[in-house]
Structure 1
Amino acid sequence: MRPAPLVLLDLDGTLTDSAPGIVASAQAAYADLELPTPDAATLRTFVGPPIAGSFLAHGVPPERVAEAIAAYRRYFRAGGMYDNAVFEGVPEALRGLRAAGARLLVATSKPTVFARPIVEHFGLAELLDGVFGAPPDDLPSSKATVIAEALASLGPDGYDPASTLMVGDREHDVIGARAHGIDTLGVAWGYAVPGELLGAGAVAVLDGPAELVPAVADRLPLTPQKVRPEAAPTTGR
């Protein structure tokens, strides 16, 4: 029997607008380390990718990256993780996908220890079938390894790449999914720079959460009668 359609979802920049807490925690880390703080546009690029790579790319010496991460986590745990909000229309889109027969798994570069409480805090856990994030900071990780863990949870016959999609807002979502033979729908309401998602190979870029159900239905075998008929089909851009 063919497995049910599967949608893998990024968290930061896709389901939630997490920039305020992430940016503030990164600023605090640079202050603690007495290093020059990047400008606001650069700090926004910290949303999504693994935090170690962001610090390394933006002025933190390799030997001080662990110190920067520790400082960042202190501020993040103290409240930054909840300086966050669900994007308008996301809960309705998740309900629509589940009603149409899709399974939904979060696959995020945020450590699992933060991702699961955030999903629960904002009332999204009941709309998802699982949440998978990065391991502790001392273990190597990438979006591809997080996706591998999410897929492994379904068992050897639990998914088919042809009936699976990734939904994310940054190029590393596209690259990580491609490592498993999975296409990605990009979302324009997140933190990608212009051209980033299509340049990385996303099959389309959606302008708003209302486009998510019809866009997935165009590519996966959802239950047709349960896909909202009034939603217009999406187009890439």
Structure 2
Amino acid sequence: MREYKIILFDLDGTLSDPKMGITKSVQYALEKMNIVEPNIDKLECFIGPPLQVSFAEYYNFDEKNTQKAIELYRERFKEKGMYENELYKDIPQLLMSLKEQQYTLVVATSKPTVFSVQILKYFNIEQYFDLIVGSNLDGTRTSKTEIIQYILDRYNEHRLDDFIMIGDRKHDIIGANNTGIDSIGVTYGYGSYEELSSSNPSYIVNSVIELKNILIANIATKQHFE
């Protein structure tokens, strides 16, 4: 078991459950574009990946319509959506424990940085993080690989072995693999065990308590993929 020093957390589906805010904002954008989707459960696929990817993949939008949909999405998300969100149980206690153990904590999310900072402040957990890195509003730096690499470059005095990425979707694990760092897939978010395991994470856990066991107690309670 490696002794990590810098822990990267995804935001949506890892630190908090953003389902209502994201799906209702997607629903709002689609309605403005004359697409009616009454069942927000069908829009859970938008939680995690960059919006540019999801609108194109699930609704076959071209670049122009994708950009329009994102602008409409943000209309509602800025006003209401970012606050229709709740922390997962035991997350504040986990973050507090990690800081007490002198870990450096970083948020690594595809959500725009400006919204991510506001959400962390809303939950009163921003003080636990040394750095918050998301995408840019102009649509750049949206892939998890780019985001993680940006963080690695900021902490370039550290070895890759010092880092670990935690997330609930395959994009988090793929980004970690692409940049050469370890990863933990969490199944309590929006990615299935099958999705996560097929991406080859270092560990998979089912709860925040199991996550704490790996990071603090060094107890690998779930399958370790080598």
Same fold (TM over 0.5): yes
- Cα contact 2:27–2:36 (8 A) shared by 1: no
Report what 1:17 is aligned to. 17
Give runs of aligned pairs for residues 71-150 of structure 1, distance below 5 A: 71-139=72-140, 141-150=142-151
Give runs of aligned pairs for residues 214-233 of structure 1, distance below 5 A: 214-217=213-216, 227=217, 233=220
In structure 1, C-alpha distance between the alignment counterparts of 2:135 and 2:143, rounded to whole Å: 8
- Cα contact 1:50–1:110 (8 A) shared by 2: yes
Report what 2:6 is aligned to. 6
Report what 1:186 is aligned to. 185
- Cα contact 2:113–2:136 (8 A) shared by 1: yes
Query: Would you say 1:234 and 2:184 are equivalent positions?
Result: no
In structure 2, C-alpha distance between the alignment counterparts of 1:52 and 1:140, rounded to whole Å: 11
- Cα contact 1:30–1:68 (8 A) shared by 2: yes
Amino acid at match of 1:67: K
Distance 1:187 1:113, change over 3 A: same
Cα deviation, residue 183, structure 1: 1.4
Report what 2:201 is aligned to. 202
Equivalent pairs: percent with the same residue? 33
In structure 1, C-alpha distance between the alignment counterparts of 2:38 and 2:192, rounded to whole Å: 17
- Cα contact 2:4–2:164 (8 A) shared by 1: no
Kindly provide the CA deviation profile for residues 60-111 of structure 1, in whole angstroms up to 9, marking residues without a partner as x. 4203111101100001011101100111101111112222221110000000
Number of aligned residue pairs: 221
What secondary structure does 1:110 align onto? strand
Instruction: Please give the root-mean-square deviation of Cα atoms over the aligned residues, in Å.
Output: 2.0
What secondary structure does 1:12 align onto? coil
- Cα contact 2:4–2:161 (8 A) shared by 1: no
Distance 1:162 1:73, change over 3 A: same
- Cα contact 1:108–1:132 (8 A) shared by 2: yes
Cα deviation, residue 152, structure 1: 2.2
Report what 1:61 is aligned to. 61
- Cα contact 2:4–2:163 (8 A) shared by 1: no
Distance 1:13 1:52, change over 3 A: same
In structure 2, C-alpha distance between the alignment counterparts of 1:70 and 1:60, rounded to whole Å: 17
Distance 1:60 1:37, change over 3 A: farther
User: Normalised by the size of structure 1, how large is the TM-score?
Assistant: 0.87
Cα deviation, residue 202, structure 1: 1.2
- Cα contact 1:4–1:103 (8 A) shared by 2: no
Q: Which ranges in structure 1 are unaligned for 5 or more consecutive residues?
A: 218-226
User: Normalised by the size of structure 2, how large is the TM-score?
Assistant: 0.91
Cα deviation, residue 7, structure 1: 0.6
Report what 2:35 is aligned to. 35
Cα deviation, residue 135, structure 1: 1.1
Cα deviation, residue 39, structure 1: 4.9
More deviation, 95-104/77-86: 95-104
Report what 1:221 is aligned to. none
Distance 1:193 1:235, change over 3 A: closer
In structure 2, C-alpha distance between the alignment counterparts of 1:140 and 1:120, rounded to whole Å: 22
Cα deviation, residue 233, structure 1: 4.4
Cα deviation, residue 214, structure 1: 2.0
Distance 1:232 1:179, change over 3 A: closer
